[in-house]
């Protein structure tokens, strides 16, 4: 049997918090309509009461003091960084580490019912992924409906990266998901900090890179301005959403407890110098959940562009919904060095606030290797 395999390794964006910023209202709604498909980018394997399915976790071998459950608790190991806003308590050090061998190991999640799986994200603490080579390399994605007989879904080679995002060629219904790890990148241990499982994954998660992020693409906090003050505007591009939820893998450590920008009025504009002409295909807006519900997020948005930083031209305008996280694909790709985002708050009385904005460029670093390999049938 031939298994198509794909790898989508993203060096560009990490955003597990992204998925769940609007999740609690969604949870209530979904409880009422249990048969409704889950929205995109909701991690169905997360431990604890936010989960709509009950889960059990197991692995081939485990090094103490880690546990298989540590790979599903919503935390990155050691740094105690939340990968998922809905995360509950960190389980031990927040990771699973295999025992004696780094070859032919597996990690499994059992759901209490049949779920649809369309993709997953697998995280390793960046230091252990890059320097220690602990991340998995060649894997097979397997499913089961009786917990005994497993069928192979795809064979994949993961990148040596802190995060790999994999979208299955075909979403599959299963009771158990098992990742079989043939090997790793040479480290003494095989480590998984987090395995997030999705029914659906969106394109922005998979293929785009934020070219406006402070600390990336040669940009620093002086490359971002605003209509009111220039000291805090970079906070809308620092890769964090209040309260200190990291949404981008390449975000620099925070040096301020405030990670949003608010001009103190109902309207305002932000401007970025991208240092070179960039092609932006989508723009993502993030607002802290409560602020979004209050109508503090942007509603009417105009995008202006310039190549000299002086003469700006309107590129497009659109209206946003009062939600915590939304990505707007641009009908026409924006190509410019300077981008200005002019915004008006949603609410009539509330002042504007933006937690983070991402200017998304199709990621040229994305590895999408397609190959076929025989797994010798089921
Ligand atoms: Ca974890
Ligand atoms: Ca921010």
User: Lowest-pLDDT range, 101-105, 245-249, 273-277?
Assistant: 245-249
Say whether both 138 and 267 belong to one domain: no
User: Lowest-pLDDT range, 26-30, 38-42, 72-76, 285-289?
Assistant: 26-30
Say whether both 354 and 222 belong to one domain: yes
- Identify the domain boundary among 157, 178, 201: 201
* Confidence band for 277, pLDDT divided at 50, 70 and 90: very high
| Distance of CA 70 from the midpoint of ligand 1 (Å) | 5
Which bound ligand lies closest to the C-alpha atom of 192?
1
Rounded mean pLDDT, 211-228: 89
Structure tokens at 227: 């209509």
| Distance of CA 171 from the midpoint of ligand 1 (Å) | 24
- Identify the domain boundary among 143, 169, 201: 201
| Distance of CA 184 from the midpoint of ligand 1 (Å) | 18
**pLDDT of 7 higher than 70:** no
User: Lowest-pLDDT range, 7-11, 312-316, 335-339?
Assistant: 7-11
Rounded mean pLDDT, 272-289: 93
What integer best gives the mean pLDDT of the chain? 82
| Distance of CA 87 from the midpoint of ligand 2 (Å) | 20
* Confidence band for 329, pLDDT divided at 50, 70 and 90: confident
- CB half-sphere exposure, 348, CA atoms < 13 A: 0
**pLDDT at residue number 163:** 84
- Nearest CA to 241 out of 354, 325, 355, 80 is that of 355
CA dihedral 101, 106, 109, 114 (to 10 degrees): -170
Would you say residue 303 lies in a domain? yes
**pLDDT at residue number 250:** 75
Say whether both 105 and 195 belong to one domain: yes
| Distance of CA 182 from the midpoint of ligand 1 (Å) | 21
Rounded mean pLDDT, 294-308: 95
Answer whether 186's CB lies under 8 Å from 341's CB: no
Q: What is the CATH number of the domain that holds 140?
A: 2.60.120.260
Structure tokens at 98: 């295999």
Please indicate whether residue 229 or residue 294 has the higher confidence score (pLDDT).
294
| Distance of CA 189 from the midpoint of ligand 1 (Å) | 16
**pLDDT at residue number 28:** 37
Q: Which residues of 234-245 are buried (b: 16+ CB within 10 A; e: fewer)?
A: bbbbbbbbbeeb
Say whether both 222 and 189 belong to one domain: no
Per-position DSSP letters for 76-115, written without gaps between them: -TTT--BSSTT--S--TTS-EE--S-SSSEEEEEEEEEEE
Which bound ligand lies closest to the C-alpha atom of 270?
2
Give the integer Cα–Cα distance in Å for 90 and 73: 6
**pLDDT of 2 higher than 70:** no
**pLDDT at residue number 221:** 84
Contacting residues for 43 by C-beta, under 8 A, at least 6 apart = 16, 19, 20, 74, 84, 86, 196, 197, 198
| Distance of CA 158 from the midpoint of ligand 2 (Å) | 29
| Distance of CA 210 from the midpoint of ligand 1 (Å) | 25
Say whether both 148 and 289 belong to one domain: no
Q: Burial level of 136, CB count in 10 A (0-12/13-18/19+)? A: buried
Which bound ligand lies closest to the C-alpha atom of 242?
2
Which bound ligand lies closest to the C-alpha atom of 93?
1
Which bound ligand lies closest to the C-alpha atom of 68?
1
Answer whether 70's CB lies under 8 Å from 94's CB: yes
* Confidence band for 370, pLDDT divided at 50, 70 and 90: very low
**pLDDT of 17 higher than 70:** no
- Residues having C-beta closer than 5 Å to ion ligand 2: 235, 238, 240, 259, 356
Residues in the chain, total = 378
**pLDDT at residue number 203:** 53
**Sign, Cα dihedral of 282, 12, 138, 179:** negative
Give the integer Cα–Cα distance in Å for 333 and 331: 7
Say whether both 144 and 224 belong to one domain: no
Alpha helices in the chain (DSSP H): 16-20, 23-32, 126-130, 203-207, 289-293
User: Lowest-pLDDT range, 33-42, 190-199, 240-249, 303-312?
Assistant: 33-42
**pLDDT of 32 higher than 60:** no
Contacting residues for 107 by C-beta, under 8 A, at least 6 apart = 57, 58, 59, 60, 68, 71, 96, 178, 179, 181, 192, 195
| Cβ neighbours of 152 (radius 10 Å) | 17
Per-position DSSP letters for 285-302, written without gaps between them: EE--HHHHHTT-SEEEEE
Looking at mean pLDDT, say which of 195-209, 233-247, 252-266, 287-301 comes out highest. 287-301
Range of the domain at 170: 55-201
Say whether both 272 and 335 belong to one domain: yes
Number of domains observed in the structure of the chain: 2
Predicted confidence (pLDDT) per residue in 143-176, tens digit? 999 989 999 999 999 888 888 888 888 889 999 9
Which bound ligand lies closest to the C-alpha atom of 57?
1
Which bound ligand lies closest to the C-alpha atom of 243?
2
**pLDDT at residue number 111:** 93
**pLDDT of 209 higher than 80:** yes
Say whether both 152 and 223 belong to one domain: no
Cα–Cα separations (whole angstroms), residue 330 to 29, 40, 292: 29, 20, 22
Which bound ligand lies closest to the C-alpha atom of 194?
1
Would you say residue 194 lies in a domain? yes
**pLDDT at residue number 205:** 57
Give the integer Cα–Cα distance in Å for 131 and 209: 23
Which bound ligand lies closest to the C-alpha atom of 72?
1
Q: What percent of the chain has pLDDT over 90?
A: 50
Predicted confidence (pLDDT) per residue in 49-95, tens digit? 766 778 899 999 999 989 999 999 999 998 778 888 788 889 999 99
């Amino acid at each position: 049997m031939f298994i198509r395999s794909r790898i989508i390794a993203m060096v560009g964006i990490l955003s597990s918090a992204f998925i769940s910023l609007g999740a609690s209202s969604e949870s209530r709604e979904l409880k009422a309509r249990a048969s409704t498909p889950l929205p995109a980018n909701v991690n169905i394997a997360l431990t604890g009461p936010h989960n709509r399915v009950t889960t059990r976790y197991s692995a081939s071998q485990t090094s103490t003091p880690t546990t298989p459950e540590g790979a599903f608790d919503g935390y990155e190991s050691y740094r105690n960084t939340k990968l998922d806003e809905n995360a509950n308590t960190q389980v031990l050090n927040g990771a699973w580490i295999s025992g004696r061998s780094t070859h032919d190991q597996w990690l499994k999640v059992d759901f209490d019912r049949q779920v649809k799986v369309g993709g997953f994200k697998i995280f390793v603490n960046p230091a252990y992924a890059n320097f220690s080579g602990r991340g998995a390399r060649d894997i097979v994605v397997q499913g089961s409906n009786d917990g005994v007989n497993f069928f192979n879904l795809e064979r994949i080679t993961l990148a040596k990266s802190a995060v790999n995002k994999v979208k299955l060629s075909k979403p599959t219904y299963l009771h158990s998901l098992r990742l079989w790890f043939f090997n790793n990148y040479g480290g003494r241990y095989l480590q998984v900090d987090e395995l997030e499982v999705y029914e659906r994954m969106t394109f922005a998660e998979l293929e785009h890179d934020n070219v406006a992020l402070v600390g990336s693409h040669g940009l620093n906090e002086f490359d971002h301005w605003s209509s009111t003050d220039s000291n805090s505007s970079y906070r809308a591009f620092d890769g964090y959403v209040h309260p200190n939820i990291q949404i981008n893998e390449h975000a620099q450590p925070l040096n301020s407890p405030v990670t949003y920008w608010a001009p103190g009025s109902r309207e305002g504009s932000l401007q970025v110098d991208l240092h070179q002409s960039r092609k932006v295909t989508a723009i993502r807006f993030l607002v802290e959940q409560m602020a979004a519900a209050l109508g503090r997020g942007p509603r009417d948005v105009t995008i202006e562009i310039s190549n000299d930083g002086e003469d700006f031209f309107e590129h497009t305008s659109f209206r946003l919904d009062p939600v915590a996280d939304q990505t707007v694909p641009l009908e026409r790709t924006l190509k410019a060095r300077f981008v200005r985002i002019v915004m008006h708050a949603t609410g009539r009385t509330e002042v504007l606030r933006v937690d983070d904005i991402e200017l998304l460029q199709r990621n040229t670093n994305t590895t999408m290797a397609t190959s076929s390999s025989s797994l010798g049938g089921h």
